[in-house]
Structure 1
Amino acid sequence: MTPPRRSLASALVLLPSLALAAFWSKKSDEEELKSRLDTLKVHLYLAGKSAVAQVGTSDESKAVKEKLLVVVGGVQGSVAATRTGKEAGTPEGTSAGTRTVAPRPLRLDEVGALAKALWDTREMGKQVLVGDKETLPPVLPVLLAPFPVAPELVSRIDAPTDHAVLFSAMALLKLHPDSPVPLPPEFLLYEAAHTEPAQVKIPGFAPQLSALKTYTLAMNDLCDLAEKEALTLEALGAEQEPRLKEGLKLLTGKDVNLSAEQRKHLHGLSQVLAYGSLTRCQLKKDQLDKARVSLGLFLDAAEQGGVDLPELQLLRASLECDSGTAEQGKARMTALAKRDDLSERSREGLEQLESSCGKGEVKLKGLTGKVKLGRVVVLVAWSHLRNSGLVEAFAGLPWVKAVGDFVTSLGTVVGKVPGNVQVSLGGDD
């Protein structure tokens, strides 16, 4: 039925107003990030940090600290030792009043007690969030206290450095391709938002921190903030690379000399994380021109890592088909079709690309879904990381394990709380 002319005219008059209302009601990335962080899980996380950092003095805060330090290990010993003075056998370089105690997992009853204590201190966590960076001292000095770390490292742990180390630990645990730790993504989003790579007092790692921050923001669809962070990558790399050896010495306590090839992989790691995640984010926002540029940068960095995934070849072919090199793309697809390691989903994507190549009909958004771009980014990033020498440099360091145990235990308990905010960090698409 044809609508009355008056109703149609009224609708046409209202359309511009409705469009403007939708535009002005859209949240900026900054506003969206703020609302995502003001959640129960972040409040509980900050309550745990506050307790360990000795901000909270209530019985509930003390209970939180006691349970978390059981898991971390040696740090619990430091609490008791401070009452009696330094004990024999303390490793050289350890702070006075500390001793090493073997860590152990929480028993089921302790997990329940920790969850209850965190719940009882959630208001303190919310107050920390409202007060932002000003109210929470670093937690790392407490976690590092029992271990033989360089005094200079401890002296450099201010708030920006504390956020950066916790963020890095969480990201590596969460993004492990073989055994990812199920940390609440809100934890990473909070630490990413509070990490300012240029302010971190451990030199040499600003580009990797910036890339991790770009990745975390982009995977949570905060494209504008992610793009701003990615702009700093190249400048940070040129400035920080000469100081990488100094930073490694501080963190590991030993001289670590990375080869030129290993440093190239470290650079590739940053590029892969930043531009792979930006591609995904920009495609979700239908920013196709930006996405093509980001995808090209991602593929360049991925290929430098020597990773031979069929999905990378398919994505490269899609760019060739969508530009002036369609014949090159078709040749690449012919070779790709013969591979035995092409997944069923990727083969479907290949067939779709073959039918649209060179016709201006490449559906890049659908193709990245077929190849599970998020998963591909994680696999390529870890290949670069393993070849960079950093995994070996940090392997077996007790303080690194303590930090990992701290965030894992806190994440395990808080992750069971209902009401998860829909934010993403994984590579399942």
Structure 2
Amino acid sequence: MRRLKPRLTVIGTGYLGATHAICMAVLGYDVLAVDCDRAKVDALAAGTVPFHEPGLPEMLRKALDSGRLRFTTDLAEAGAFGDVHFVCTGTPQVAGSMAADLSQVEGVVRGLAPHLTRPCLVVGKSTVPVGTAARLAELLAGLAPVGAAAELAWNPEFLREGHAIEDTLQPSRLVFGVASETAREWLEAAFRPLLTAGVPCVVTDLATAELVKVAANSFLATKISFINAMAEICESTGADVHELSTALAYDDRIGGRFLKPGLGFGGGCLPKDIRAFIHRAEELGTGESVSFLREVDAINQRRRSRTVDLVREQAGGDLAGVRVCVLGAAFKPHSDDVRDAPALDVARRLHEEGASVVVHDPQAMDNARRTHPELEFADGALEAAAGAAVVALLTEWDQFRGLDPVRLGEVVAGRSVVDARNALDGATWRAAGWTYRALGVA
């Protein structure tokens, strides 16, 4: 007999999985979280979140204290425990290809299926190429002792780093990709508190559910790259990209969100997701329909090159031996995620041109040191800026917005700042004696 409140497992305790497991336990579900990394499991079980996300450590403690959240490395235990199994493993980009690496997702299905001896639902939350769910559903039914009673559904995630708790407990929408009424009922039971609270829910087929996330990310990436393309035009014509953006935002068909020019997007989702979308469309013979995404990606990369150009110009045309202070390492504020981080990519390029690059970030220092040991790092903005000929603001942390240009000017070798995120008040910095340059501003 099906439980009114199903027991949940969450397989994969990275950013998505850990957040989902913790929040579902706080919502009142019994949750068993699974990962093959024993150190990560032990840390979470001891109350330590292995990444930066505001509010999540406190939420983890609340979940652990409730007794509703446990951690394990044993898929057999998960199979015996759970009614609804959420698959939250990564789908990184394949090295040397635009394709998504599905080995982790498929590995979970292959590993879990032999332990499914009663009716249950396996729910993919990972971002995958369209058609993956149908293939995995066949694989699951073929390997599970319970056969087709082990159903598969897709429930894409829409987390924003820095806002993950809000996006889990108060999401803008839920998407249920299902192949049966039974699967829909399982998912409704697993998300009952959110549905009761009035969260909109779209119930659709597996393929459409898979497409929702990549379509959303592609649209967002396109909007960001559009305003950055306009910034390129503004720089060459003397137009003001900020006033252009303001004027566009008054059109309610367009809106002002993500129409801010700057260094562009990075992280573990948008870049690899749009590339995987292009790759999958080409496999399906419909590559021309998303060919524009190649230019979206190219515009995004050009912002990084243009930032290096601006720093080089401020250094007098040659970066060899020039000390550059880089403020920012994470791909966005309120995160310690440095995957495909524009800030670190720019820092790397500056280093390759001979600059002496010193980086500071409020949260991402440890990750940045691991991925870019060739760079120098400082524990504070003033320390990083000491003796610098150029300061480059590359991640728009509030701490950097609030820097005092007069105080910073006392420690640098040259008062020159490149604001790649358009986060500073240029007039204030110029009044303090700085040469101020920003992307999209002639």
TM range (shorter): under 0.3
Structure 1 or 2: more strand by fraction: 2
Greater RCO structure (CA 8 Å; 6+ sep) = 1
**Higher helix proportion:** 1
